[in-house]
Amino acid sequence: MTTLSVIIPTYNEIDYIEDAIKSVDFADEIIVIDSFSTDGTHEKVLELGCQLVERKFDNFSSQKNHAISYATGDWVLFIDADERVTQKLKSEILKTIQNSKHGGYKISFPHFFMNRFMYHKVDRVVRLVKNQDLKFTGDVHEKLHFKGSEGVLKNFMIHYTYKGLFHLLQKKDSYAWFQAHTSHKKGKKATYFHLIFKPFYRFFSTYILKRGFMDGIPGLALASINAYGVFSRYAKILLIEKELK
C-alpha cells in the first residue's frame, strides 16, 4: 500500500492549524515543522497527535528540507496552515499516488480575498511529490526539485490567503523587507526603472493577462496591492543601499 506524508510549516498559526490538520487526516503521517510559535500552535499540534519538529527559521527552503528528512511516506504533500484539502482533492490525491504517471504534481490555489475565492487569480505549485531525492532551493521563492515528470491535479486546494486588508498589507510589507535583504546580500541593485516598470508590469500581468478584471472590485484591489508589493521591495532595496534602513 502506497503511503503519504504531509508536511506543514508553521509559526503562530493557532487560528488555522487545527482545520489544516483535519483536512489531511487521511495521510499516514503529518509532520508539522514549527519555528518556535508562541501562540499555542505547539500545544495544539501535539494535542492533535501530529509529529512536531521545531527549528529556528532561517529561510523557507531550509525549513522544508529539514522536515523532509523526517518523512517516511512514499509520497509527500506540502501544505501551509492556511490551506485546506477538499474532499474532491483528497480523493484525487489518493487515486493519484496509487497509480501515478509522474514524479510530482502541481495543485491550483485560487486566492481568497474580500470574502470570496478569486478563480482568475490562481497559483499552480508543485506540492505532491514522490519521496525520492527531494530538495528545495531558493531563499524566498523556493523551488522544489524532484525525480520524474510533472503533472497537474484537476481539483483546487482551498487557500485562505489573507485574513483581511490590513493583514494583506502587513504581509506584503514584511515579505518585501525579506526579499530586499536577500537581494541586497546577493549584490542585486535597484534602479528607478525597477520602481516604475516592475510595479506597472505586475499590475498589468495580474489584472489583464491573468484576467483579474473578471473578479470585479476584489480583482482590481488585489492587482493594485500586488503592484504596491513590488514597488515596496525595490524601494526597500534602495533604502538598504543608501544605509537608511
CATH number at residue 120: 3.90.550.10
At 49, is the pLDDT very low, low, confident or very high (cuts 50, 70, 90)?
Answer: very high
Mean residue pLDDT of the chain comes to 90
Q: Are strands 75-78 and 116-130 parallel, antiparallel or unpaired?
A: antiparallel
Arithmetic mean of pLDDT, 82-98: 96
pLDDT, residue 182, reads: 82
Rounded-to-integer distance, Cα 21 and Cα 50, Å: 8
* Same-domain check for residues 127 and 188: no
Residue with the larger pLDDT of the pair 134 and 110? 134
Q: Which of 131, 159, 187 is the last residue of a domain?
A: 159
Q: Which of 106, 127, 159 is the last residue of a domain?
A: 159
pLDDT, residue 221, reads: 86
* Same-domain check for residues 148 and 189: no
Is residue 163 over pLDDT 70? no
* Same-domain check for residues 29 and 101: yes
Arithmetic mean of pLDDT, 134-138: 93
Kindly give, in sequence order, each residue whose CB lies less than 8 Å from that of residue 185, ignoring residues fewer than 6 positions away. none
Q: What angle do CA 24, 75, 109 make, to 5 degrees?
A: 55
* Same-domain check for residues 43 and 16: yes
Arithmetic mean of pLDDT, 75-104: 96
Q: Which of 159, 187, 210 is the last residue of a domain?
A: 159
Rounded-to-integer distance, Cα 32 and Cα 81, Å: 9
At 167, is the pLDDT very low, low, confident or very high (cuts 50, 70, 90)?
Answer: low
Helical axes 165-185 vs 216-241, angle rounded to 10°: 30
pLDDT, residue 7, reads: 98
Residue-number span of the structural domain to which 87 is assigned:
4-159
* Same-domain check for residues 42 and 102: yes
At 25, is the pLDDT very low, low, confident or very high (cuts 50, 70, 90)?
Answer: very high
The identity of residue 238, as a single letter, is L
Residue with the larger pLDDT of the pair 21 and 233? 21
* Same-domain check for residues 22 and 45: yes
Question: What is the per-residue burial (b if ≥16 Cβ within 10 Å, else e) of 7-45?
Answer: bbbbebbbebbbebbebbeebebbbbbbeebeeebbebb
